[in-house]
């Protein structure tokens, strides 16, 4: 069976380094998601695993094989891209079977494999159609089918849902989760969308500027981020960050009118600055003459996002039910439990625990 291991993997284009000493251990059958902002190196890392980019230094292992210098076609992986790149003049059936046909597989075997992929992807009714008669989601399913028929040990997906509209994206996300359950192969999936990462992954790898910031299960990253970047990237709306100062063993927060937070984390010395993090779901907005101002309330239906300006001018977002009517522009009080606050070193942005 087939996991994927990266050992101090490095990518340089001439003098420009884009991937820095990445160590990763992706288990057999795992759904691993690379997530991070645009340009952080997700595609580069995936293409290095696929063999589409040379690895400048370090090693890549697939299963028990060192594939660092192995041709892409010999690595036992199949990749699905954002652009489906189907052959427009071929039917769905022929698009899916084309790779096998080119490799000289017998007709009967191709037919069987295409039928199996078509069943898994619910494409049976579309096999005789050409791509132009399919929706975006159906085209992407055909592209996935093309990968399935090759029977790869590892599937690589590079932002496969980015071209689809929001509703289809959700449908396809569910389809891909189901596909993983059904075929059980190792999958590595690249996205900049933290919701896709949270919902699909067994393991999330958060990347930033070519470096791994943290690896963990979705809820581990959400509940226990190692640094401010991961804390801010995972979760929606993003975690709020305000300044704090260590005074008398507690953290005083000017944004909240000098409110003190009691905590058991190891704080730096008296007078040190820290960053205080609070999730939008962990703050209560009370309609009274407090130190904050309700700037704007966005109603989404089940919830509302209150945009607030704090005592020191800091801006934060609070997720509420919006049950209590509060006029925009009015003064409010912000309440939260001390134990919901996260703390980060002001200089290194590392989590204080
Ligand atoms: P992501 O997929 O996370 O958006 P990429 O992996 O495409 O990011 O790119 C990572 C970084 O590598 C970017 O800064 C990009 O400009 C750089 N890069 C990608 N391809 C090349 C190339 N052929 N030559 C030089 N730099 C490149
Ligand atoms: Mg990319």
Q: For residues 139 and 130, is the Cβ–Cβ distance under 8 A?
A: no
Q: Is 42 in the pocket of ligand 1 (CB under 6 A)?
A: yes
Point out the ligand 1 atom lying closest to the alpha carbon of residue 11.
12
pLDDT in tens, 261-316: 999 999 999 999 999 999 999 999 999 889 999 999 999 999 999 999 999 999 99
Q: Is 43 in the pocket of ligand 1 (CB under 6 A)?
A: yes
Q: Is 14 in the pocket of ligand 1 (CB under 6 A)?
A: no
Q: Is 16 in the pocket of ligand 1 (CB under 6 A)?
A: yes
What pLDDT was estimated at residue 183? 92
pLDDT in tens, 42-79: 999 999 999 999 999 999 999 999 999 999 999 999 99
pLDDT in tens, 24-33: 999 999 999 9
- For each of the domains in the chain, give its residue range(s) and CATH number, in order of start: 4-233 (3.40.50.300), 240-345 (2.40.50.140)
What pLDDT was estimated at residue 323? 86
- pLDDT class for 84, splitting at 50, 70, 90? confident
Q: Which residues surround ligand 2, an ion (CB under 5 A)?
A: 43
Calculate mean pLDDT across residues 132-155: 94
What pLDDT was estimated at residue 222? 98
What pLDDT was estimated at residue 108? 97
Which of 16, 18, 79, 156 is the best mutation target for the ligand 1 pocket, counting ligand atoms within 8 Å of the beta carbon and taking the most?
A: 18
User: For all residues of the chain together, what is the average pLDDT?
Assistant: 96
Q: Is 13 in the pocket of ligand 1 (CB under 6 A)?
A: yes
User: Does 1 have pLDDT greater than 80?
Assistant: no
What pLDDT was estimated at residue 347? 97
What pLDDT was estimated at residue 176? 94
pLDDT in tens, 171-189: 999 999 999 999 999 999 9
Cα 342 to Cα 277: distance, rounded to the nearest angstrom: 5
Calculate mean pLDDT across residues 150-179: 93
Q: Give this prediction's pTM.
A: 0.96
- pLDDT class for 241, splitting at 50, 70, 90? very high
Q: What percent of the chain has pLDDT over 90?
A: 93
Q: Is 37 in the pocket of ligand 1 (CB under 6 A)?
A: no
């Amino acid at each position: 069976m087939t996991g994927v291991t990266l050992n101090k993997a490095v990518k340089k284009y001439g003098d420009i380094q884009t991937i820095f000493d990445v160590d990763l251990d992706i288990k057999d059958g795992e759904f691993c998601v690379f997530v991070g902002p645009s340009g952080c190196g997700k595609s580069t890392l995936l293409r290095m695993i696929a063999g589409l980019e040379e690895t400048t230094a370090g090693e890549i292992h697939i299963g028990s094989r060192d594939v660092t210098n192995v041709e892409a076609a010999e690595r036992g992986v199949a990749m699905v891209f954002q652009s489906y790149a189907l052959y427009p003049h071929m039917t769905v059936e022929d698009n899916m079977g084309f790779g096998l046909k080119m490799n000289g597989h017998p007709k009967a075997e191709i037919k069987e494999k295409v039928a199996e992929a078509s069943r898994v992807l619910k494409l049976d009714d579309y096999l005789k159609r050409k791509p132009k008669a399919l929706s975006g989601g159906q085209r992407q399913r055909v592209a996935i089918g093309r990968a399935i028929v090759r029977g790869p040990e590892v599937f690589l997906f590079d932002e496969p849902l980015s071209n689809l509209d929001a509703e289809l994206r959700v449908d396809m996300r569910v389809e891909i989760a189901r596909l993983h359950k059904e075929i059980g192969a190792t999958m590595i999936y690249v996205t900049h969308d933290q919701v896709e990462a949270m919902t699909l992954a067994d393991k999330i790898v958060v990347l930033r500027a070519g470096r791994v910031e943290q690896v963990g299960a979705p809820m581990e990253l959400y509940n226990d981020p190692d640094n401010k970047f991961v804390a801010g990237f995972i979760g929606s709306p993003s975690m709020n960050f305000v300044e704090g100062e260590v005074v008398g063993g507690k953290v005083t927060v000017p944004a909240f009118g000098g409110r003190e937070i009691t905590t058991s984390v190891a704080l730096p010395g008296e007078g040190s600055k820290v960053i205080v993090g609070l999730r939008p779901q962990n703050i209560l907005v009370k309609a009274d003459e407090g130190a904050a101002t309700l700037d704007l309330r966005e109603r989404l239906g089940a919830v509302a996002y209150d945009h607030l300006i704090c005592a020191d001018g800091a801006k934060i977002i609070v997720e509420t039910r919006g049950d209590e009517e509060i006029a925009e522009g009015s003064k409010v009080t912000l309440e939260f439990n001390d134990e919901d606050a996260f703390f980060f070193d002001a200089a290194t942005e590392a989590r204080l625990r």
